[in-house]
Amino acid sequence: MSKYSCKHQKRVEVKTELYNPYTGDESTDVRWEWESTCEDVDLHRYKCKLCGEIGYYSGSAKDYYTKGIKNGALGPSYA
């Protein structure tokens, strides 16, 4: 999958078991939701599990990881 076509989400089926205490009937409610495919890989950055693209939570974090520019706003270890 090309990283430019990836939306960093996937559709997942969510099932909820329902029970009516008055009638004793049981049923299953099924709905589809979008779920993020990104996971944190380091402080201030994440990676998509589908396409492998690395993302940053801020411009300062991107500058730190890609250009080596330190910034105190990222925390004491990045100053």
29, part of any domain:
yes
79, part of any domain:
no
77, part of any domain:
no
78, part of any domain:
no
Report how many domains make up the chain: 1
15, part of any domain:
yes
Cα distances from 48 to residues 13, 33, 60, in angstroms, run: 20, 18, 20
What is the per-residue pLDDT across 65-75, written as a single tens digit (0 to 9) for each? Answer: 899 888 887 87
What is the per-residue pLDDT across 31-50, written as a single tens digit (0 to 9) for each? Answer: 999 999 999 998 899 999 99
48, part of any domain:
yes
User: What was the pLDDT predicted at 3?
Assistant: 54
3, part of any domain:
no
**What average pLDDT score do residues 50-61 get?**
92
Q: What is the pTM of this model?
A: 0.66
CB 66 within 8 A of CB 60: no
> At which residue do the structure tokens 């520019």 appear?
69
Give the number of other Cβ atoms within 10 Å of residue 57's Cβ. 13
CB 36 within 8 A of CB 76: no
Which residues form the domain of 38?
Answer: 9-71
**Res 2 pLDDT > 70:** no
User: What was the pLDDT predicted at 75?
Assistant: 76
